[in-house]
């Protein structure tokens, strides 16, 4: 175990095949890192891996619960053209060492007394099952899970979910929906489920189109924003970062030297533009995930100049900020010039 910048070396304890296209990676956390890797139900880990000599940074949710499980388990579903997800599913083995950032994320079980209704689609079940396990173990709240998948073979954690349902028959209600049998969940059906759960807290995680339907139904039912908790998975393979919007540069815009993947590039950062946006506009494959200041995937070290963050919702702790780390998705250059270094992923 060695700390390298924001990363820690953790050994893979074992690999669990969940479905034909998803696997869980169980990590061994040594005693000296137990406190560092303490987490809340619903949080995720950020990994730095090298695939085909290309450093990648990806976030994967913890499917384990700090209240019921002694191990840290993340689950990765294969994504078409997904370099990192395919690497984890095809090549990561027990005994291998992975570079991992400490837990982060704000899609967490809140200390409320309201019933819980959780809408999960596909691999969106990963943080949701963590929340469910903690809710069952630490509260008496009624829990309803609506879980949508393509077909029965695609249902991740089916055995584990059924075991939870059998152990908590009065507290947990699971409604499986299969596109191949029930069709796609529409706003009307989702709205009826929401209407039956007046006063509940609603958690939503899944594919973009699925989440759009649930959000539409929540809005139609007038559910207050403080009762809605949403986790969005942002994959660089699915984001249009390869074709950023062009912008006009002016002679007064600061030029920052970006260190990434062993190379240095001078990037002009426009007024109101974040360091990450400038990198992507310049064609650099700078790492990112949530884009909202809480995952830590885009963190980099400021070695010169002044970069001020618009927000930091947990992606960095006070000690990291003091060392000069910033979240580049939130970083605005406040002084001319400078140098920003992304940590090497290999």
Give per-residue pLDDT as tens, 201-228. Answer: 999 999 889 999 999 999 999 999 999 9
Q: Residue 4 has what pLDDT?
A: 58
Q: How far apart are the first and last CA of the chain?
A: 15
Same domain as 168, residue 216: yes
Cα→Cα distances 276→55, 265, 280, 291, Å: 16, 13, 6, 9
Q: Residue 58 has what pLDDT?
A: 84
Tell me the two tokens of residue 246. Answer: 């062009």
- Between helix 208-220 and helix 187-195 the angle, nearest 10°, is 50
pLDDT tens digit sequence for 17-76: 999 999 999 999 999 999 999 999 999 998 988 888 877 888 899 999 999 999 999 999
In a domain, 9, yes or no: yes
Q: Determine if the pTM surpasses 0.85.
A: no
Same domain as 156, residue 66: no
Same domain as 86, residue 126: no
Q: What is the DSSP letter of 153?
A: G
Same domain as 131, residue 220: yes
The domain boundary residue, chosen from 216, 231, 246: 231
Same domain as 197, residue 139: yes
DSSP symbols for 305-324 = S-EEES--SSSS-HHHHHHT
Q: Residue 149 has what pLDDT?
A: 96
CATH number at residue 7: 2.40.30.10
Q: Residue 241 has what pLDDT?
A: 41
pLDDT tens digit sequence for 253-263: 899 999 998 89
- Secondary structure in 3-state letters for 33-47: HCCCCCCCCCCEEEE
C-alpha–C-alpha distance, residues 210 and 121, integer Å: 7
Q: Residue 345 has what pLDDT?
A: 55
Q: Residue 237 has what pLDDT?
A: 46
Range of the domain at 157: 116-231
In a domain, 236, yes or no: no
In a domain, 140, yes or no: yes
Strand partners, 143: 116, 172
- Is there a contact between 99 and 4 (Cβ–Cβ < 8 Å)? yes
Residue 237 half-sphere exposure toward CB, CA atoms < 13 A? 12
C-alpha–C-alpha distance, residues 225 and 146, integer Å: 20
Kindly compute the dihedral angle of the four CA atoms of residues 206, 231, 333, 324, in this order, to the nearest 10 degrees: -120
In a domain, 108, yes or no: no
Same domain as 223, residue 121: yes
Same domain as 271, residue 193: no
- Is there a contact between 44 and 62 (Cβ–Cβ < 8 Å)? yes
Number of domains in the chain: 3
Same domain as 126, residue 227: yes
In a domain, 244, yes or no: no
Same domain as 140, residue 214: yes
C-alpha–C-alpha distance, residues 279 and 276, integer Å: 5
CATH number at residue 121: 3.40.50.80
Q: Residue 242 has what pLDDT?
A: 41
The domain boundary residue, chosen from 100, 130, 147: 100
Look at the alpha carbons of 193, 195, 198, 203 in this order and tell me if their dihedral is positive or negative.
Answer: positive
Same domain as 209, residue 145: yes
Same domain as 175, residue 96: no
In a domain, 346, yes or no: no
Same domain as 96, residue 120: no
Q: Residue 202 has what pLDDT?
A: 98
Q: Residue 1 has what pLDDT?
A: 46
CATH number at residue 285: 3.10.20.30
Q: Residue 339 has what pLDDT?
A: 96
Kindly give the parts of the chain with pLDDT less than 70. Answer: 1-5, 233-251, 345-346
């Amino acid at each position: 175990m060695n700390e390298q910048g924001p990363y820690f070396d953790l050994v893979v304890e074992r690999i669990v095949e969940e479905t034909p296209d998803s696997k869980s990676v169980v990590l061994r956390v040594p005693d000296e890192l137990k406190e560092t890797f303490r987490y809340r139900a619903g949080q995720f880990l950020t990994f730095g891996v090298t695939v085909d000599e290309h450093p990648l940074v990806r976030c994967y949710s913890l499917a384990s619960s700090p209240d019921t499980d002694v191990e840290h388990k993340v689950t990765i579903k294969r994504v078409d053209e997904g370099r990192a997800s395919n690497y984890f599913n095809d090549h990561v083995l027990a005994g291998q060492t992975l570079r991992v950032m400490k837990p982060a994320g704000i899609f967490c079980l809140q200390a409320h007394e309201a019933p819980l209704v959780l809408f999960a689609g596909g691999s969106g079940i990963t943080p949701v099952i963590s929340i469910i396990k903690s809710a069952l173990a630490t509260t008496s709240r009624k829990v309803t899970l609506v879980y949508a998948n393509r077909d029965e073979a695609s249902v991740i954690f089916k055995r584990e979910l059924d075991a939870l349902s059998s152990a908590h028959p009065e507290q947990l209600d699971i409604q499986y929906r299969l596109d191949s049998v029930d069709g796609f969940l529409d706003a009307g059906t989702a709205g009826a489920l929401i209407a039956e759960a007046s006063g509940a807290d609603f958690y939503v995680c899944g594919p973009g189109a699925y989440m759009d339907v649930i959000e539409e139904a929540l809005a139609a039912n007038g559910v207050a924003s403080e009762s809605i908790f949403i986790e969005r998975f942002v994959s660089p393979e699915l984001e249009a970062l390869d074709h950023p919007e062009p912008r006009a540069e002016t002679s007064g815009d600061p030029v920052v030297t970006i260190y990434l993947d062993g190379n240095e590039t001078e990037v002009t950062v426009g007024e109101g533009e974040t360091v990450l946006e400038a990198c992507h506009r310049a064609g650099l494959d700078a790492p990112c995930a949530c884009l909202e200041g809480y995952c830590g995937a885009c963190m980099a070290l400021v070695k010169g100049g002044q970069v001020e963050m618009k927000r930091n919702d947990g992606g960095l702790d006070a000690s990291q900020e003091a060392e000069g780390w910033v979240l580049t998705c939130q970083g605005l250059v406040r002084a001319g010039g400078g140098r920003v270094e992304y940590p090497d992923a290999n």
